[in-house]
Every structure is written in C-alpha cells, then in structure tokens.
Amino acid sequence: MKGKFKNGITGSMASIATLGLLIAAPLQAADGPTAQDLVNDAGSTGDVLTYGMGPQAQRFSPLAKVNADNVKSMVPAFAASLGGEKQRGQESQPLVYDGTIYVTGSYSRLYAFDSHTGEKKWEYDARLPDGIMPCCDVVNRGAAIMGDKVLFATLDAHLVALNRHTGKVVWNKAIADYQAGYSATAAPLIVRNMVITGNSGGEFGAVGAIQARNVDTGELIWERPVIEGHMGMLNGKPNGITGKTNASWQGDLWKTGGGATWLGGTYDPDTNLIFFGTGNPAPWNSHLRPGDNLYTASTLALDPDTGVIKWHYQTTPHDGWDFDGVNEFIPFDATMAGKPMKLGAKADRNGYFYVIDRTNGHLMGASKFVMETTWANGINLKTGRPNFVDANRPGPPNGSEKGTSVFSSPSFLGGKNWMPMAYSKDTGLFYVPSNDWGMDIWNEPIAYKKGAAYLGAGFTIRPVAPDHIGALRAMDPKTGKIVWEYKNKAPLWGGVLTTAGNLVFTGTPEGYLKAFDAKTGTELWKFNTGSGVVGSPITWEQDGEQYVAVMSGWGGAVPLWGGEVAKTFKDISQGGALWVFKLPKS
C-alpha cells in the first residue's frame, strides 16, 4: 500500500478505539455525500462539500449571521496545527462534513479534524519518491468528498481515495509519470460517479490532459489530452484525436507541447459541461513553435460523459510570456444587452477579465483588471484575439546568445495566478485577487530532455507601483469596470470568499485574514494568523452558529520565482495551521 496512516488517538485506549473504528467503517461504506449533494453544495449551509463551495465554484455563501455589521466582533474558535517540519505553502481549501474538517497540506498530506474542537482524527502522508519535480512549491489545493471517500492528488502524479472515517487507502492510481516531470496539485472535481482531474508539469514539456475515473474503483473512464495531435480515450478505446495534428504546431513540437491542466475544473449542471483551463505551451520561447499552439492558454468546455471538447476559447494565442490560461472559469447568469444569458467569467493571468457565453464559447466582453498590459493593447471582441504589441514579445535567441529582452506587464506570475476569485449573487460583482507587477524577459536556446526544465527563457520580476503589488478588485462583469479595490503591499496569493452578509474575505502574506464590505471595499475586520495566508477561506453553519475557516502557511510560487519581489518578503514566517473563527456567544 502506497502511503502511511497516522491515527490521532493515543494512549491505552488507542488500539481499542481504532479497532472499533476500523471494524465499523465497512458497515458505513455507502454513507456520506451523494452526487446530488455535491450539485446542491452552493445552497447548503451546514457543510462544504466541493472545492469552490459548489460545482460552479462561485464561492458565495447564503449565510448572513456573520455580516458587515457584526464581523468586527469575530474571534478564533480554535486553531489546529498540521505539525511536523513540513510547513510550506498551505494553499488548501477545507471541506466540512458530518462534524469533520478535511484539509490537505504541503507535501501531499491530508488531515481530518473535529469541526467542534480542532482535535485531529487522522492524518495521511503520501510516501513521495525521490525525484519529484513540482515547478511551484510542494503545495496541494484541496480534496474532494463523496460517499465514504475523500480523494486528493499527490506530487508524484497519483490520485488517492481514502476512507473518510479512518484515513485508510481505498485505492491509489498513477495518473502520469512523475519522472517525466508530471505532478498534481489541484483539488479533484466530482461529477456523478466520476472524479475528474488534470495534471501539472508544463515547465517540463509534460502534455496537459484531463482524466475521469470511477469514484469507487479509480479505474479510468476517459482521458482527453489538450494538445492537438494526441489521442483521447473512452472506456479503453480510442476516442478521437484532439484537434488536428500540425494544425497549429509545426513538426513534432506537439508531442512535448505543455498545456498542463494544473488548476482543476468547474462543472455547470445547467449546460452539463465541465470547464478546464490549460497552461503554457512548451517551451516558453515562442519563436521555436510558430502558430497558435492549440489548445494551450485556453478554456475548454467538455462533455463530462465522454471527454469530448465542445468548445474552446484561447486567451493568449502563441503565448510568449508564460501567461497560461489555466485560471478558473466560473459560470454565472446575467442579463447582457437586455437578454438573459448563461455566462462564465475568467480573470486570466494575462491581465484581462473575460466574459464568455458558456453555451458556445462566444466572447461577450474583455477588459483589463490590472494597471497595465504591455503585451497587448486590448482584445478584439469580433475575433476574440488580443491586439498584440509585437515590440513587446521577447526576441529570438541569436545562436547561443539570448534574445532581446523586453519589459512585460503583468509578469509571468500573472495579473491573477491560481488563487480563486468569488462571485456574489447579491452584488453581481466578481472579487478578484490580483497583482500589479512586471518582468524583464528574454529567450534562450533550449532543447527538450525528459524530466528537465523546458523553458528557453529568463526573467526578472519587479513591481510596477510604489505603494502595492497585491490588489483585491471588485469587477462588474456587465461593464468590465472596477467598482472598488483594496491595495496590499505584498502580493495577494490566497483565494476569496463572499457571503450574503455583505462580506468578502481573503488573506494576505503578512498573515492576515481580512473581511471587507462587499459593496464598498471598506476593511471591516482582520486577524493575524502568524504566517502568510495563501489558502482559500470557507464558511458554514454548525450548532446554530456561522463559522469561517482558512489555512495559514506562507509559500507557493512567489518565494521561489519572485526574484527581487520575493526578497522583499523573505522574512515572512512559514507555518501550517487551520484557523477557525466565529462570533462570540451573547
């Protein structure tokens, strides 16, 4: 069995209690959340069953017991430490069900804590092999739950299902070859009886793919590679090539084309589509791969039963800045031009906020949500393509010498990176955790080698404003206008939560979880957790009270890739703890 189990019970009663738990577990195998419970998660308040607090990942809660008037009184209910020395980059979003909080930790760990006391029930540590190659820290962003199982992905590109009562392994499947640079960090998506995952590894030439597996057995149902020329599979049989071989890739470059689907997906029950973003083409040096390089830097809409791509929209054709396109696509409904529409929104790393008809992929609007976008001066709404500024694409290498360096904003770390935004049904606004920074970037000679970095570029990141890097921005999807913004000195690297209590929550690297007025952006409350907050907050109701929880623990890509920017914040303490808050009882 891959991995090891640690039970939180100690002392002479441990063996008795543990034995009883293990004996009872098979009798409870069918209990737990159903597929319909997951679909209804956005409206239920007594639990959090999905990454994004609903399959559409709007991260909006109808709870209002904690609100703009009383949030200033919110205090810690408890904190639970992850323990050990593995305190790096706690980017997870917790799940809550039946008195238990499930949360993943760095280095591919999963914990179950009592939701009333914070006492650890069990812990699972994946036994990671030597030689794993995560590009952007040893993070994990969350788990999925269904029935008697809790599931998560690991840094050696495995998908693991555990018994949610005991932490014992039910099944463990390799989704890709970690020795070729593949890894996995995203929270899985569950649709009906399928657990759907992507992969990481675009910086190593790993080809992005989406897989659907049987929740009960882990057996592969379908797989859809996202680079043109690769064959899809359905029930063990070929299911059509993705795109058309060499349509937008020259020669054999499609075989190592990148496009990692490293952030996971969303599901829209209204259209029965799943949406996945795809990452950067490989290598970063765009002069080596002429063409649009489909389907990199794109949003894909897929049939969840077959993995067939129904439509795509590419945000950065022929990406030369590592902008990716992997950011979450959030379905929402609104009236545009006097017509009720089924839409989706995406705040892309390239600095533009897109509104798309989610039924067909047609672009409805695109506007900047950052201070500047030097690589393009707008998006053509008729063609859907960027208006490239050709002079701001880094030049090709000259023999063994690097090419001409250019200044690009935003930097490759993005106007918004992995950290999920939220949408309020009450205000009609999206709340985007963004960053204003740029980079000097140049291209270098590169050749593909299995398991080696496949960039062909160098860079130096630097700020573009004297007073901030991070900015939480409220975007109106109908107009593309920024309604309000909160500026933060350090980069924002955590997710966002909004509630019917007229509140928006997010964390900062300085250690704070903060609450803002959803309509005005006024800061209403803050609490310092002792380490940088780069996780995604949640809220739920328990015993008649509303709770708010977030992970604390500084890390992620900024300390590793941020250059001069990272040095500015090098003294932030690392950590690993789950913080839970509520109002004091009257």
Give the pairing type, strands 352-357 and 339-347.
antiparallel
Listed as own residue / partner, the contacts of 216-219 with beta carbons closer than 8 Å and 24 or more positions apart are 216/147, 216/149, 217/171, 218/159, 218/161, 218/171, 218/172, 218/173, 219/173
Residues 6+ apart with CB under 8 A from 63: 45, 499, 500, 501, 539, 540, 541, 546
Do residues 543 and 44 make contact, with C-beta atoms less than 8 angstroms apart?
no
Q: DSSP string covering 267-296, please?
A: EETTTTEEEEE---BSSS-GGGS-S--TTS
Q: Mark 433-447 as b/e (b = at least 16 C-beta within 10 Å).
A: bbbbbbbbbbbbbbe
Where residue 181 falls (left for φ over 0; alpha for ψ -120 to 50; beta otherwise) is left
Structure tokens at 524: 């209403």
Q: Number of H helices and number of E strands within the chain? A: 4, 41
Reduced to 3 states (helix: H, G, I; strand: E, B; else coil), residue 567 is helix
Sign of the Cα pseudo-torsion (388, 391, 393, 398, in order): positive
Active-site residue, from 125, 268, 292, 322: 322
Intra-chain end-to-end CA distance of the chain, in Å: 50
| DSSP, res 511 | S
- For residue 534, which of 54, 136, 73, 50 has the smallest C-alpha distance? 136
Do residues 316 and 386 make contact, with C-beta atoms less than 8 angstroms apart?
yes
Separation between Cα atoms, residue 168 and residue 170, nearest integer Å: 6
In 106-264, beta strands by DSSP E: 109-114, 120-125, 144-146, 149-153, 158-163, 169-174, 189-191, 194-197, 209-214, 220-225, 231-234, 237-241
Q: Which amino acid is at 380?
A: N
Instruction: For tokens 């008037």, name the residue.
Output: 69
322 is catalytic: yes
Residues 6+ apart with CB under 8 A from 16: none
Nearest-5° Cα angle at 168, 166 to 173: 145
Strands, sheet with 265-268, edge to edge from the N-terminal-most edge strand:
265-268, 273-277, 298-302, 309-314
Structure tokens at 369: 């949500």
Reduced to 3 states (helix: H, G, I; strand: E, B; else coil), residue 253 is helix
Q: Which helix (H) or strand (E) holds 557?
A: helix 557-561
Structure tokens at 231: 């064959």
368 Cα distance to chain centroid: 21
Residues annotated catalytic, as ranges: 322
